[in-house]
């Protein structure tokens, strides 16, 4: 169980008045050693935005300086209202304090040991009344506890700061003696300082430990490893019942090793049938067994189910069925919780966040991305993708201050390694393209391009130029005015040096000029049948941007060609499974290219219309490298 500190505004106000200029380094080292951070809600930012470190040179803004040790988590308004009603409206603390109490309680439910740092005794009494599960302590005790974990010099400095703040706390409490009975508060302050945690005696073997060992043994048997005979005897028929689940990894390995699939709908059906068969067989095998055996089995196979549901979610997304994709990723997330795999939970929540972003449910997207970000911090994974996604979602939900705070945290990550940042932002941009958010993708690719130029990575720069061109080609007139303010927000993600800025602007101008040139109708068309490889090659594939169906069942595919720009392709009515992101392949057939009607050119920005001599020669290919997650 990890320890979390949720800190209120008054603590920061005390620190602003009294903390020496060594404070940030001291607390950063100790929190890093504890593998934790200071948790706050957005309301705290508003209350301390003008607080400064009074004892520091030039008195810098406190909030700007401590960003590196803060984790800002939003709390739904409905939860704050619910807690206020539970406590009683008249007795309830202020809204910001309530948000901190909700956050602390939420962290407790996630399995953490939580201390709410506040000198407001009402938050202690009302928290106990509502049985929210966290402890409280005043800021002075918080610093005392941190001091106990520091080096000798850190301990001396933080204890001295703790004493000064404790004196201020006592003085304030005593000054209010005529307004309420302060005895309880003083007792709480002293008790919190004297309190020590009593750790439970180690237990050689508990039911939980025994169960975990059986789960581990069953997993090893499924993987084909040898285990002790005593475990085999205890597991009984479970190895035989669960053995079929190994087919899942065999299937995922097979499909991902192929690199491409020309029938993703068929693969989705095949995977769905395989999972149904496996779950049915396991269900039949478990039905006669007791609850304890079933629980061991479910936890042992949860990793396999997570991987299959994630792969099905990716397939459904590639097929354009986003509601079904969400169902699969939700089930993947549930399975991940059974194996206590933070990375698996993080990946599932990220995919669910993207789907919420596609659905324009900004609040849910932000919540999912922020939770994924917290999981990334718990496992020391790079947070950049999750925190930038959180910032965009909060901005679109109208919570600009939280969005700016996220970007400030992301900027610190970018500055540490700009090459890594460029690659991560390229991944995020491609994810946004996959959910048909090209405007957002362009803004992310712009930031990635800045980082790539500063890293002098020509190959990466060229790759980013290609995806920027593709994203620009995917935009229609309706989308141009969408998502106001995102560019201004993301401009704060990376600080570009002047020489790199000139190169970046030159590259962007080059891309825009190419996009402008390739928006005009083709000067020359192919009136005679030509070999298909004259149109499509490994260097210049046709990537589907969108698919449009008319009332007669005919489909107009809008595709992108690196050299020609956007090309339209009419498909006759029939069983053609073409989806956004697919690559078009034409084998053993010839093609013609004609100028498009003006109405199609204006609506879809296509330069030409392709006719295929033998439509049955068409196939639509999906890359399968993302299915193995």
CB 369 within 8 A of CB 389: yes
Task: For the chain, give the number of residues.
Answer: 629
Q: Quick check: helix, strand or coil at residue 298?
A: helix
**DSSP states of 394-422 as a string?**
HHHTT-HHHHHHHHHHHHHHHHH-HHHHH
Q: Residue 93 and residue 80: Cα distance in Å, rounded?
A: 11
For the segment 381-392, the average pLDDT, to the nearest whole number, is 94
Q: Residue 118 and residue 107: Cα distance in Å, rounded?
A: 17
Q: Residue 129 and residue 101: Cα distance in Å, rounded?
A: 12
| Plot region of 340 (φ>0 → left; ψ -120 to 50 → alpha; else → beta) | left
Beta-bridge mates of residue 557: 547, 569
Distance between start and end Cα atoms, the chain: 27
Q: pLDDT confidence of 89, banded at 50, 70, 90?
A: low
Residue 560: the pLDDT is 86
pLDDT in tens, 95-106: 888 889 889 888
Q: Residue 564 and residue 522: Cα distance in Å, rounded?
A: 8
pLDDT in tens, 8-38: 999 999 999 999 999 999 999 998 888 788 9
Task: Indicate the average pLDDT of the chain.
Answer: 84
Closest CA to 495 of 464, 451, 455, 539: 451
pLDDT in tens, 508-557: 888 888 877 777 778 777 888 988 888 887 777 888 888 887 777 778 88
Q: Residue 585 and residue 568: Cα distance in Å, rounded?
A: 14
Q: Residue 159 and residue 77: Cα distance in Å, rounded?
A: 37
**DSSP states of 132-143 as a string?**
---EEE-HHHHH
């Amino acid at each position: 169980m990890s320890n979390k500190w949720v800190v209120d505004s008054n603590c920061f106000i005390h620190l602003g008045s009294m903390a020496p200029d060594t404070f940030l380094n001291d607390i950063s080292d100790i929190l890093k050693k504890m593998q934790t951070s200071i948790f706050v809600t957005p309301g705290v930012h508003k209350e301390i935005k003008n607080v400064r470190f009074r004892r520091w040179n030039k008195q810098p803004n406190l909030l700007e300086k401590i960003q590196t040790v803060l984790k800002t988590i939003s709390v739904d308004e409905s939860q704050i209202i619910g807690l206020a009603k539970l406590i009683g409206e008249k007795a309830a603390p202020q809204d910001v304090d309530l948000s901190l109490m909700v956050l602390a309680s939420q962290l407790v439910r996630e399995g953490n040991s939580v201390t709410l740092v506040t000198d407001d005794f009402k938050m202690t009494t009302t928290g106990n009344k509502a049985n929210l599960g966290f402890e409280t302590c005043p800021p002075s005790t918080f610093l005392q506890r941190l001091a106990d974990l520091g080096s000798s010099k850190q301990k001396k400095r933080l204890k001295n700061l703790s004493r000064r703040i404790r004196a201020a706390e006592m003085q304030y409490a005593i000054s209010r003696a005529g307004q309420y009975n302060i005895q309880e508060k003083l007792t709480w302050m002293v008790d919190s300082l004297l309190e020590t945690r009593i750790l439970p005696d180690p237990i050689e073997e508990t039911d939980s430990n025994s169960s975990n060992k059986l789960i581990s043994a069953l997993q090893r048997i499924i993987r084909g490893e040898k285990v002790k005979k005593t475990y085999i005897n205890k597991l009984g028929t479970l190895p035989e019942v669960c053995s079929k689940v190994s087919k899942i990894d065999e299937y995922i390995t097979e499909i991902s090793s192929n690199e491409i699939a020309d029938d993703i709908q068929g693969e989705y059906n095949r995977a769905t049938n395989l999972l149904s068969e496996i779950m049915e067989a396991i269900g039949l095998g478990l039905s006669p067994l007791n609850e304890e055996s079933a629980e061991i089995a479910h936890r042992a196979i949860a990793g396999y189910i997570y991987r299959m549901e994630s792969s099905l979610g990716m397939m459904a997304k590639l097929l354009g069925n986003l509601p079904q994709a969400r169902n699969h990723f939700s089930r993947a997330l549930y399975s991940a919780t059974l194996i206590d795999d933070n990375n698996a939970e993080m990946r599932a929540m990220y995919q669910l966040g993207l789907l919420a972003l596609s659905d324009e449910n900004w609040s849910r997207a932000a919540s999912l991305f922020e939770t994924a970000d917290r999981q990334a911090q718990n496992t020391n994974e790079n947070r950049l993708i999750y925190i930038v996604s959180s910032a965009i979602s909060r901005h679109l939900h109208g919570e600009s201050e939280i969005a700016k705070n996220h970007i400030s945290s992301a900027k610190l990550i970018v500055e540490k390694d700009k090459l890594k940042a460029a690659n991560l932002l390229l991944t995020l941009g491609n994810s946004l393209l996959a959910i048909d958010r090209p405007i957002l993708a362009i803004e992310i690719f712009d930031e990635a391009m800045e980082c790539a130029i500063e890293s002098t990575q020509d190959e990466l720069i060229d790759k980013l130029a290609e995806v920027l061109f593709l994203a620009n080609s995917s935009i229609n007139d309706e989308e141009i005015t969408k998502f106001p303010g995102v560019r201004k927000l993301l401009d704060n993600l990376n600080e570009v040096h002047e020489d790199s800025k000139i190169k970046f602007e030159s590259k962007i101008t080059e891309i825009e000029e190419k996009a402008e040139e390739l928006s005009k109708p083709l000067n020359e068309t192919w009136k005679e049948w030509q070999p298909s490889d004259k149109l499509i090659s490994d260097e210049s594939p046709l990537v589907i941007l969108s698919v449009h169906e008319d009332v007669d069942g005919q489909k107009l595919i809008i595709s992108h060609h690196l050299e020609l720009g956007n090309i339209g392709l009419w498909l006759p009515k029939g069983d053609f499974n073409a989806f956004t992101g697919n690559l078009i392949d034409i084998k053993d057939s010839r093609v013609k290219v004609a100028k498009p009607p003006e109405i199609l050119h204006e609506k879809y920005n296509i330069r030409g219309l392709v006719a295929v001599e033998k439509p049955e020669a068409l196939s639509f290919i999906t890359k399968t490298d993302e299915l193995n997650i």
